[in-house]
Structure 1
Amino acid sequence: MFQAPDYIESVSVKLSEVLSDIGVDERIVLKRRRGALLAESMATRSLQLQDCNDTTYYFGSQSEGTTTLDLHSDTDRLYCFNDFNVIQDRSDWKPGVQICLMIQDDTVSPGYCLLQPLRKDTPHPYHTVPNKNFSERKGKILIKNKVISEMADIIENGGTRHGPAHTLQKQTGMNYVDIVPAYHCKSWPLQARQWLDWQGIGQWPSADMRRYCDSTGCFLVGVGSRGSEHEEFEWRISTSLAERCLMFNLNITQIQCYVLMKMILKTLIKPLFEDTISSFMCKTVMFHCIANTHSNIWRENNILGCLSLCLFVLHNCILNENCPNFIIPGNNLMRGNIPQTYKPYILQKLCDVVTGRCIALLGIECDDLGLRLQCKMNNLSSFKASDIVSGYILKSLAYSIDFSIRPCLICNSSNEEAVQTLRKYISKLVDISDQCEGVDKAVYHLLAPWFYTSLGTALASYSIHLDNAVSAEALTWISLGLNTDVSSSKLKLASIYYCTGDTRKMETTLRNIERSYDVNTVEPICSCHFYIKQALREGFLAISNDHNEEAIQHILAFCVIFMPYEIKCVPHELQYEMFRSSKDDLAFRPLHDYWIKWAVVDSLPYLYFLQYKTYKSLGRQDEKKRALSNLLKTTDREPNLGHRETALNLLGQCMEQENRATDALRCYLISLNLRERYNAAKIHICRLLSSLLSNK
């Protein structure tokens, strides 16, 4: 079945060029990995700031850089509960800590284990069942694996359960997020001890890689082997950190080969045979191929040969219904996965790909691979997708910043308590930064300015409440956080000047924001709720392609958020948004409703609203009209507004101030049509109608 025809070299080079064009090259792979590692670190730092002793890991294709735009790979997030300690040897037991002993014996499926809780006062097991999450099996008190999924359900409210994973609702333009809860064991699993001393023909994995893998330990995921007599008590052993190390040490040809396998899987196998073959099986097959071949075959001009080799090995795995896990070979990934009715058809599909002289590749529509390859073979050029991929990587990182910051800012306490909390966060963040380097250090520079701005605004709100002035300390903190992005922090400063009546400083601040806000380049960012997003701007894509996370402060505009404890820094027209919910709305609470008591507005319409107020106050009619026109145009035409209803509510109030009551009412009605519940437009409609009736 496996052979190397004469055409293989020339087609391989063209195929490698095509994969580079669609974003599978060394530069984009490194961009994807850096973005995922930054997001991973931010999520964990956010938990640490909130005194939560858990760790978040980002695994899978997105973090490996082994995906494309059309593969639509999920984001795999492992949530590790660190307060739950797992050991493999009783000598590692410590008093006063919740500890479980991993049991790996002949009664347990390969790649799985049982967890036996040990007492906190002695390294011995319990003799009675503590609660419903435990049960006795063959003389041992064991933990049921469903307990960890129930814990995740509490943490991640909403979404859907799929086995051990908790899948969050998909937002348009983003990928699904699978959250897998797990426990961690610091020691390497006994079932994989032999792997640490083994090395393949190609000297891969290297001794250094295996030493690192040994230090990563393993995770325990709450799912048992299908059909096992201990299924509800078994925990799957995951070596995800070790597998990530292996993936990060692949060359670009190996990565491209894996991506091709996934494209073939998506195009030829999954539509007909559902989830019989997984991308993890393809990854495992590739690991075996790399380990059992000399490294010199994995080169750009032999990618077709490498692909054929991998498909040949996959063919044999399916034929024998045995795909051994690369690190724990006793764990057969295909056990019970291949229905006999499907098997001959799947085998034939793989044969057709290998023997068809790349005909099958020409038929792959994913990322237009087939069409692009045909163009390359005819010496026709095709457009490169690297800028689009870079844009989505940067935008995804921006959402990660938002998701990491927001839980820390949610505070129903008083202004004084909020200030104390924010000071504590900043102090902890500085301490964490002093102890880290590399990606973790970069995370500090991404997160810290947001806390500086929030603390400064909270302090300003308090000082405005006392004597309608802004304290020097508040301005110092705000100045440290002005470069979070293009506009949101600067707009909060402009709001403070508005609320203290400092029109001149307000005008200067707004002019600087407008100068930096290039509407052809800057992308709005809002993660409050799910809404349909349009294609990214070309200017944004171009800059994203040339820069990493440092571009966020130049080409992204987050929505402007005011918490209740910042209310004295909020123009009265926007304060209505903090009181948008009525009693009737409470029965229709949105899934993620934390923001409904905040005043939240997109940056661009808020910029024009504040300009309108400024120039109205200064009596500069032409500039006031221009600002109002820009506000109307933005509210109507900007495709990526997360809070269009709020922008309409601000526009309506401007129309009222222009004595255009009919236009104001139209704005409120359009706003209400966009968001029926939790909308301050109801207040404005009642207020406007009452005013009109009173005047009449």
Structure 2
Amino acid sequence: MFHTPDHYHNTSMRLSEVLDDIGVNEKMLLKIRRTFVLDETNTTIIYTAIKNQMTSYNFGSWLEGTTTPGLRSDTDQLFTNDEFNVIQDWSEWTLGKHNYLMIQNETIPPGYCLLQKLRDDVPLPATHEYENHWVKDTSGRILFKNTWLDSAETRTEKRQGPSLALTQQPGFLDSDLVPAFPCTSWPQSAKTCLGHLDVNNWPTANMYRYIKTTKCFGVCVGNKVSENVDFEWRLSTSLAELCLTFNFNITQIRCYILMKMIIKTYINLDNESYISSFMCKTVLFHCIASKPSYIWKEYNLLNCLTYCILSLNRCILCRNCPHFFDHENNLMAGKFSNKVKQELLQTTANLIPCDRKSLFGIQIDDVGERLKIKLNIKNGVHHNILSPDEYTRRTSANLLRETAGCILDIHNAVTDERKDDSLVMKLRFLLQIVQHLTRCNRDGDMLVKISSRLQAPIYCSSIGSLIASHNIQINNTVSPQALAWLETGLDSDVASSRLKLASILYCTGQMESAAFILNDVDQRYNIEVTEPICACYNFPPTHFKIGSSQIFSLYGEEAVKCIVAHCVRFCREEINCVPHELQYEMLRSTQKDIQHRERYDNWMDCAVVDSLPYLYFLQYKTLGNLNRPEEQQQALNKLIWVTERERNLGHRETALNLLGQCMEQENRLDDAHRCYMFSLRVRETYNAAKIHICRCLANTHL
């Protein structure tokens, strides 16, 4: 490829070691991919269970395993409505679906199309305009505008290209939600490129056969330099590209990651993004396809990286980066001016060949400093640089939270959708999910079985709690049926389902039984290991517990059941399972608050509390009823401790509200008032502390 200086092989090996140290290795790669594939499986299973016509796909660097913590890559979720059908030939029209005809001609940029609305009942064009999104053009065709996506924006989700982007959330990676429309077949230009692939090199024949079976999608964005930008839809071959990426070897993955680090360090400065990660990936696709497989080795990493940067430089020179599956589609069209082009050429030229100097300048994940250490250029103790073990632990902890948070988020989302249903309808809905999960556990593949086992208990617990609340309302007892469901759901996690059962026992006056369950939870909940997980809103965890990441590293995703504690959530139909002190949380929103709600704020109608403070609160109440004052005070002290010291509480304001009411019971009204004021500092709006302060002040002046 190039004349290779003597030090290149040594530097390549040391650079490979650096990337290994920050988690870019085969072992971590498999773990990351498995986590995000499991997320997709979790979503798909529940969508199928509730007969939702949506299909969800995870894409992006995290699923690929082509990122590092320092790159702060976003997460991408593409979802399609299976009731839609984008066709290229009238023979593909399907009765009962929302059919659209893909239109491509010389006026539409390659890689894009128009979508003409067709009738659902007969294979004929639609003729009526609708709202502002289905508009008649000069040829009389009803075209679907991609500006439809603008109407889906919220206060926290803003449109960015084809996605609704959740950005700049403290402690969170940016996430992109991409609505897409499934195409029955690939566009002709992409089919032509696919037919010209050299399957004797890369992609291989097996990859080629799989790629031909993948779907293509239309996504809501037009070409920036087009006159019809609001009417155009970009054609996405994300599934085919994912197949290519999943077949990268470790050197190719490291090369891609280094390209992204170099682009971020030297090219995309001042929040500009002239060169995208997708361009880098496409350049790498072309490089792998054009060079023999034997060059992609660890000892040759610098040569491979240099070749990729040189190829990128050539693309900039021509201002043309051809899409791998549609060479007519230029990814750089309209992306930068002539002046910027010259600046980019100069910058990339200075990076060729890639040498130690340019690598030393990479601060992302301390790559430059780590390489200096590996090459013995820098000596001494480096306290600010994480060890490989610490990198592994932190990544493992994040993957654990990802899995647990996904399960909880899906449960909350599907139950929130049915919040206005009758009790009978809710129970029928949840039972339908459990029955489907049972079938999946019996008949599915390994990942489907794991997903089913992880998800089923939380739905069983919800069924049991709803039945129990209805039982309590009628005769203040809990039926054997409710108890059976609750017991089936106990293993959802370390604490939350058990705390639901203890709460029900407390509300029915079964104090000894409640105390027994609470003691069991206390034994299971290891403060040094157990990870509190909240999926009600974008709560940023700030602390990594070493113990939990070590267990997850050893046992994988099923360790979620023994090292994660979900927050405890009661909907309004479960109110009879909730002590009156916690019921106030269902009244947290004033009418003014409700007017400013977002679509993901349904949790505010529920009573939600983190597991650990709820454990100590229930112990305080239960032990008081059992006339065990010393143990009751110990529980109160633990509740005080957890509100002050546990760093990862998603509902700290609720914990403080419960503590304040305990202080009122202790006749410590000043302390109670302080708790409520602290609670308001944590959450200024949507907070039941306002009610408690009024009551507390009234009692103070009696």
TM-score normalised to the size of structure 1? 0.94
Change in 2 beyond 3 A, CA 1:456/1:157: farther
- AA paired with 2:67? T
Q: Partners of 2:138 and 2:653 in 1: how far apart?
A: 62
- AA paired with 2:172? M
Corresponding residue of 2:214? 216
Q: Partners of 2:632 and 2:561 in 1: how far apart?
A: 28
Q: Partners of 1:588 and 1:97 in 2: how far apart?
A: 36
Q: Partners of 2:96 and 2:401 in 1: how far apart?
A: 44
Q: Partners of 2:257 and 2:640 in 1: how far apart?
A: 46
Corresponding residue of 1:93? 93
1:518 and 2:518 are equivalent in the alignment: no
1:241 to 239, 242, 247: 239
| Secondary structure class of the residue paired with 1:450 | helix
Q: Partners of 1:372 and 1:265 in 2: how far apart?
A: 19
Change in 2 beyond 3 A, CA 1:292/1:273: farther
| Secondary structure class of the residue paired with 1:52 | coil
Corresponding residue of 1:389? 395
**Aligned ranges 1:172-251 → 2 under 5 Å:** 172-200=170-198, 203-251=201-249
- AA paired with 2:502? A
**Aligned ranges 1:321-400 → 2 under 5 Å:** 321-355=319-353, 357-378=355-376, 383-384=387-388, 385-400=391-406
1:458 and 2:458 are equivalent in the alignment: no
Q: Is the 8 A contact 2:502 2:517 kept in 1?
A: yes
Q: Is the 8 A contact 1:182 1:219 kept in 2?
A: yes
Corresponding residue of 1:597? 605
Q: CA deviation at 1:343?
A: 2.1
1:162 to 157, 160, 171: 160
Q: Partners of 1:160 and 1:550 in 2: how far apart?
A: 35
1:559-598 per-position Cα deviation (integer Å, ceiling 9, x unaligned): 1001111111111211121122334544554663211221
Corresponding residue of 1:536? 544
Q: Is the 8 A contact 1:114 1:142 kept in 2?
A: no
Q: Partners of 1:643 and 1:181 in 2: how far apart?
A: 31
Q: CA deviation at 1:546?
A: 2.6
Q: Partners of 1:233 and 1:629 in 2: how far apart?
A: 62
Moved more, 115-124 or 323-332: 115-124
Q: Partners of 2:585 and 2:17 in 1: how far apart?
A: 52
**Aligned ranges 1:656-695 → 2 under 5 Å:** 656-694=664-702
Q: Is the 8 A contact 1:110 1:331 kept in 2?
A: yes
| Secondary structure class of the residue paired with 2:221 | coil
Change in 2 beyond 3 A, CA 1:137/1:664: closer
1:119 and 2:143 are equivalent in the alignment: no
| Secondary structure class of the residue paired with 2:351 | helix
| Secondary structure class of the residue paired with 1:271 | coil
Q: CA deviation at 1:140?
A: 5.1
| Secondary structure class of the residue paired with 2:636 | helix
Q: Partners of 2:497 and 2:136 in 1: how far apart?
A: 57
Q: Partners of 1:691 and 1:272 in 2: how far apart?
A: 57
Q: Partners of 2:658 and 2:414 in 1: how far apart?
A: 28
| Secondary structure class of the residue paired with 1:633 | helix
Q: Partners of 2:421 and 2:180 in 1: how far apart?
A: 33
Q: Is the 8 A contact 2:305 2:354 kept in 1?
A: no
1:239-289 per-position Cα deviation (integer Å, ceiling 9, x unaligned): 000001111111111001000000001111111582111110100000001
Change in 2 beyond 3 A, CA 1:561/1:287: same
Change in 2 beyond 3 A, CA 1:59/1:465: same
Corresponding residue of 1:486? 494
Identity %: 45
1:444 to 433, 442, 452: 452
Q: Is the 8 A contact 1:573 1:650 kept in 2?
A: yes
1:290 to 272, 288, 291: 288
1:76 and 2:113 are equivalent in the alignment: no
Q: Is the 8 A contact 1:453 1:480 kept in 2?
A: yes
1:528-565 per-position Cα deviation (integer Å, ceiling 9, x unaligned): 23445313122223223333211211221111001111
Q: Partners of 2:120 and 2:443 in 1: how far apart?
A: 31
Number of residue pairs aligned between Structure 1 and Structure 2: 692
Q: Partners of 1:320 and 1:668 in 2: how far apart?
A: 64
2:647 to 613, 622, 639: 639
Corresponding residue of 2:586? 578
Q: Partners of 1:465 and 1:524 in 2: how far apart?
A: 31
1:270 to 268, 271, 275: 268
Change in 2 beyond 3 A, CA 1:429/1:215: same
1:105 and 2:109 are equivalent in the alignment: no
1:61 and 2:69 are equivalent in the alignment: no
The alignment yields a C-alpha RMSD, in angstroms, of 2.3
Corresponding residue of 1:401? 407
Q: Is the 8 A contact 2:639 2:659 kept in 1?
A: yes
1:507 and 2:511 are equivalent in the alignment: no
Change in 2 beyond 3 A, CA 1:687/1:121: closer
Corresponding residue of 1:424? 432
Q: Partners of 2:326 and 2:56 in 1: how far apart?
A: 24
Q: Partners of 1:430 and 1:631 in 2: how far apart?
A: 38
| Secondary structure class of the residue paired with 1:37 | helix
| Secondary structure class of the residue paired with 1:175 | coil
Q: Partners of 1:143 and 1:441 in 2: how far apart?
A: 43
Q: Partners of 2:620 and 2:78 in 1: how far apart?
A: 47
- AA paired with 2:395? V
- AA paired with 1:457? S
Q: CA deviation at 1:661?
A: 2.2
Corresponding residue of 1:29? 29
Q: Is the 8 A contact 1:524 1:556 kept in 2?
A: yes
Q: CA deviation at 1:175?
A: 0.9
Change in 2 beyond 3 A, CA 1:591/1:493: same
Moved more, 643-652 or 194-203: 194-203
Structure 2 residue runs of 5 or longer lacking an equivalent are: none
Moved more, 486-495 or 617-626: 617-626
Q: CA deviation at 1:142?
A: 4.1
- AA paired with 1:11? T
Corresponding residue of 2:484? 476
- AA paired with 1:187? S
Change in 2 beyond 3 A, CA 1:131/1:454: closer
Q: Partners of 1:236 and 1:104 in 2: how far apart?
A: 11
- AA paired with 1:507? A
Change in 2 beyond 3 A, CA 1:434/1:331: farther
Structure 1 residue runs of 5 or longer lacking an equivalent are: none
Moved more, 600-609 or 636-645: 636-645
Q: Partners of 1:28 and 1:205 in 2: how far apart?
A: 24
Q: Partners of 2:280 and 2:547 in 1: how far apart?
A: 37
1:609-647 per-position Cα deviation (integer Å, ceiling 9, x unaligned): 111122222222222121111110111111111111111
1:415 to 400, 404, 423: 423
- AA paired with 1:242? A
Moved more, 670-679 or 175-184: 670-679
Q: Partners of 1:132 and 1:582 in 2: how far apart?
A: 34
Q: Is the 8 A contact 2:613 2:643 kept in 1?
A: yes
Q: Is the 8 A contact 1:116 1:140 kept in 2?
A: no
- AA paired with 2:617? F
- AA paired with 1:368? D
| Secondary structure class of the residue paired with 1:76 | strand
Q: Partners of 1:345 and 1:291 in 2: how far apart?
A: 28
Q: CA deviation at 1:662?
A: 2.1
Q: Is the 8 A contact 2:657 2:676 kept in 1?
A: yes
- AA paired with 1:191? S
Q: Is the 8 A contact 2:172 2:538 kept in 1?
A: no
1:615 and 2:623 are equivalent in the alignment: yes
Q: Is the 8 A contact 2:225 2:334 kept in 1?
A: no
1:192-240 per-position Cα deviation (integer Å, ceiling 9, x unaligned): 1123333448611011211111111200012222222433322111000
